[in-house]
Structure 1
C-alpha cells in the first residue's frame, strides 16, 4: 500500500473529519490507527465507507510501517496498529513489561509482488536466485536475463513489515546497496524509470490501482527451478497457498480501546467490508481474533 505521504488529500480529510467530529460531539470516541503502508489505503477506504453508515465515527489514519504502528501502541499514540507481520518476541515482551493487553485480528491475506521495468526481458524467477539478488550475491543481470546491466534493488526500510517478511522468507540480509524507500509508491516510481531495477510491493496495491502497475511487470515466482511459476495475482494459487510470498495481515488493538474499535472491526467482517477487501486485491481468509 502507499506510504503515509501518499493520498495527502484523503489524509487531510480524515484529520479535518476527526477534528470536526470532536468539536461537534465531544463524547464521540476518536480512534487513531497507524502502521503498515501495505494496509493503509485499504484502511482508509474501509473507514470512508463505514463513516457513511455511522456518521458519528471518527478516525485518524496514517502509515509509516508496521514497526511504527506497533511502537505507537506501546507509546499510547494509537488504538490500532496495522501490521503486515506478527509481533516479534521482543515486542511481545515489551507489551508484557508495560502491562499492555492487546487483541489481535487477522483480517485478510496479502501477497508480495516482485516488479521489474515493463520492458525488462524477464517473466519469472526462482526463489533461490531472488535471494542471491536481494542479498547482493548476484550484482548483474547478465547471467539471469542475458543483458549486461547492474542490478538496482528498491526495497523498504527496516521498520517495514514487508521488509521483515521478505528477509525471513529468503533467510537473507539485504544488500547494503539496496535503496530504502518509504513506501510502495516510491518503489514503483523508482522501477518505472530504471530498466535495471527490481523491487517488492504489496500485490493488492498494484491490483487495486491500474495506474500504479503501468510501466512495471510483476514477476511470477517459482519456489524451485523445476516447479511451475505462480503469480501473486492468481486467486487460485493464493487460495491453494501455492504462492511463496503470501502472508496474513494483522490489526493489533489495545484492549482498553476495544469497545470503541469493535464496531469498525465488525464492519470489516461484514459482507460490505469483505467486498472492499477483495476489491483492493487482497484475499479473504477466515476473519478471526487470535
Structure 2
C-alpha cells in the first residue's frame, strides 16, 4: 500500500500533520490529538510504526493538551497526547459521560526557558522567574547590565505547558504575555527579540539544531544558593533534579484500546524508546501506567 505524509494548515499557527494510507479498514484507523509538546515525536513514532505495519492509518494533530482531551470527550479522537494530568473538572466530565479511559505515561519531559542568544544571562532562579512571568519584574536591568523591557512569549491557556508552568510557579501570567500556538512560534519570537523570554519543550530544542540557533537555554536554580540545572542534562532529569520536569501522558479511550494496543507496544519497543530519547525526552524506570 502506498503511504503518504500530508501537511495541512487549517488556521494560522496550527500545524496539523496527517499520516494516512489507502486503507479502508477502520479498525486499524487511529486519531491522535493534543499536546504540541508531543506532536513532532508522535508523527515520527507513527511513521516508523506504519512502516512496520502498513495496515494502520494514524491521523495526528496538535493544538494543545486541552484540545486533545476535549476531542476525547467529543468522540473525535482515540488518543489524547497531554503534557499535564487531567483536571478534576475533566475527570468529572468523563465520569458524567460514562467514558472510560486508560492512561499511559510514555516519557518524561523538561520545560526549557529560552532567551535571545545575546542577552547577558545564563541562569535564573525560580523565585525571580516567577516574578518575571507574573509581570512583577518588567526590565532586564533588574537582573543584568542591559536596559531592556522584558517581553514574555508563552502559550495559550489550553496548553498543558501553560498550565504546568502556572502551577509550578503558583502565579498568574502577566496580561502582557504573548500567547503563541506552539514551540516553533515561541522560538521564532525569541530569536527575533533581544528582550524576549519564552518556554518550550526541551525535547524540541534538543532534537532540532536549527531551533537552538539564535537562542540560549537558561539553567534553572530551584533555590538561591543551589546549583543551576539545565533541562538538557539527562543525568539531572533521571535524578529528578530539574525543577520543571514532568511526565508526558497519553489518554486513550477504553473502547479504542484493542486497536491502539499495537501502537503502544511499538512505543515501548527498542525502536520506539530510541525515537523518544532521540527527541530529547527521557524514559524513567519508575513510570507507571494506569490502565
For the aligned pair, the TM-score class normalised by the smaller chain equals over 0.9
Q: 4+ runs of 1 displaced by more than 2 Å?
A: 4-8, 26-29
TM-score, length of structure 2 as denominator length? 0.93
- For residues 96-134 of structure 1, give each alpha carbon's deviation from its aligned partner in whole angstroms, at most 9, with x where no partner exists: 000000000000000000000011100000000000000
Q: Which residue pairs with 1:283 in the alignment?
A: 282
- For residues 141-170 of structure 1, give each alpha carbon's deviation from its aligned partner in whole angstroms, at most 9, with x where no partner exists: 101012111000000000000000000000
Q: Which has the higher helix share?
A: 1
Cα pair 1:21 1:28 within 8 Å, conserved: no
**Aligned-partner Cα distance in 1 for 2:89–2:207:** 34
**Aligned-partner Cα distance in 2 for 1:49–1:276:** 9
Q: Which residue pairs with 1:110 in the alignment?
A: 109
**Aligned-partner Cα distance in 2 for 1:128–1:288:** 31
Cα pair 2:13 2:185 within 8 Å, conserved: no
**Aligned-partner Cα distance in 1 for 2:23–2:140:** 54
Cα pair 1:117 1:191 within 8 Å, conserved: yes
Q: Which residue pairs with 2:227 in the alignment?
A: 228
Show the 5 A alignment for 1:61-100.
61-100=60-99
**Aligned-partner Cα distance in 2 for 1:288–1:258:** 17
* Number of equivalences: 280
CA RMSD of aligned residues (A): 1.6
Show the 5 A alignment for 1:1-290.
11-12=17-18, 14=19, 17-18=20-21, 20-22=22-24, 26-286=25-285, 288-290=288-290
Secondary structure of 2:213 counterpart:
coil
Deviation (angstroms), 1:40: 0.4
Cα pair 1:28 1:56 within 8 Å, conserved: no
Which ranges in structure 1 are unaligned for 5 or more consecutive residues? none
- For residues 168-213 of structure 1, give each alpha carbon's deviation from its aligned partner in whole angstroms, at most 9, with x where no partner exists: 0000000000000000000000000100000000000000000001
Which ranges in structure 2 are unaligned for 5 or more consecutive residues? 1-8
Deviation (angstroms), 1:7: 9.8
TM-score, length of structure 1 as denominator length? 0.94
